[in-house]
Amino acid sequence: MDGWGADQAGGSSGGRGGTGLESLDFRVNHPPVAHAGPDRTVDQGSQVSFDASDSRDVEAPLFAYEWLFHDGSTVTGLTAERDYPEDGDYPVTLTVIDTAGSTASHTITVTVTNVAPTVLTATDVTGVEGSAVQFVATFTDPGVLDTHSALIDWGDGATSVGMVSGSSLRPQISFPSRDGRLSSRSNECRC
Ligand SMILES: [Ca+2]
Ligand SMILES: [Ca+2]
């Protein structure tokens, strides 16, 4: 136990000229219990809500709650929210403080899994024989911090590497020529 306090001071006295006796009643503070909830597994791009309602203290309602995230940022309060745009494992530590100043912590892990990109648009292209045509596609990925490569399968065994450009929210792929069919996997757009 890491906290205590005097609950009451009382006393009794001895007789005249005798020895005195004083009594003190102490109430030992029980440390709080922190509970940040279960470990989580979410898709990248998700917002995760945290709730410390299962934390408790014997003596009184908890005085304060603080959430510490992997980047060193903190949020105070019974609940907190956090966006996870990048896949990986991220610790979240809840620290609670009781009215006597005792603290307790609980750390959970948020596992963020990669989500494959999705090809949104790819239009048919008509060209003149012997001339190059540009083929353009767009895709989306909830992992806005992900990097991407693109490959087009022309359908005859030939492939070409595409150039990815544009904003992270709506990137675009440009290919040198010909037409093909679209598919996607992992963080690679195969068009
Ligand atoms: Ca307590
Ligand atoms: Ca992704």
Integer distance in angstroms from the first to the last C-alpha of the chain? 63
Domain count, the chain: 2
Domain boundary among 79, 113, 147: 113
| Cα 53 to ligand 1 centre (Å) | 16
Domain boundary among 84, 113, 142: 113
pLDDT bracket for residue 179 (50, 70, 90):
very low
Q: Do residue 124 and residue 169 come from a single domain?
A: yes
Q: Do residue 32 and residue 58 come from a single domain?
A: yes
Give the separation between CA 118 and CA 187, rounded to whole angstroms: 9
Other Cβ atoms within 10 Å of 42 Cβ, number: 15
- Bridge-partner residues for 64, per DSSP? 97
Q: Do residue 18 and residue 42 come from a single domain?
A: yes
Q: Residue 111 corresponds to which tokens in the numbers above?
A: 């596992």
Whose atoms come closest to the Cα of 115: which ligand?
2
CB of 176 closer than 8 Å to CB of 134:
yes
Q: Residue 41 corresponds to which tokens in the numbers above?
A: 């597994």
| Cα 41 to ligand 2 centre (Å) | 15
| Cα 3 to ligand 1 centre (Å) | 8
| Cα 15 to ligand 2 centre (Å) | 83
Q: Do residue 97 and residue 143 come from a single domain?
A: no
| Pairing of β 46-51 and β 40-43 | unpaired
Whose atoms come closest to the Cα of 85: which ligand?
2
User: What are the C-alpha distances in Å from 126 to residues 132, 133, 135, 151, 154?
Assistant: 10, 8, 10, 20, 14
Q: How large is the average pLDDT for residues 168-189? A: 52
Q: What is the pLDDT of residue 106?
A: 98
Q: Which residue has the higher pLDDT, 118 or 91?
A: 91
Mean pLDDT of the chain: 81
Q: Do residue 151 and residue 94 come from a single domain?
A: no
Whose atoms come closest to the Cα of 102: which ligand?
1
Domain that holds residue 32: 4-113
Q: Do residue 79 and residue 18 come from a single domain?
A: yes
Q: Do residue 79 and residue 165 come from a single domain?
A: no
Q: Do residue 26 and residue 42 come from a single domain?
A: yes
| Cα 166 to ligand 2 centre (Å) | 16
| Cα 80 to ligand 1 centre (Å) | 23
Q: Do residue 89 and residue 108 come from a single domain?
A: yes
| Cα 85 to ligand 2 centre (Å) | 9
Give the separation between CA 147 and CA 167, rounded to whole angstroms: 11
Q: How many CA atoms lie within 13 A of 4 on its CB side?
A: 7
Q: What is the CATH number of the domain that holds 66?
A: 2.60.40.10
- Bridge-partner residues for 171, per DSSP? 166
Give the separation between CA 70 and CA 35, rounded to whole angstroms: 18
pLDDT bracket for residue 167 (50, 70, 90):
low
| Cα 145 to ligand 2 centre (Å) | 8
For 17-71, the pLDDT digits (tens) are 677 788 887 778 999 999 999 999 999 999 999 999 999 999 999 999 999 999 9
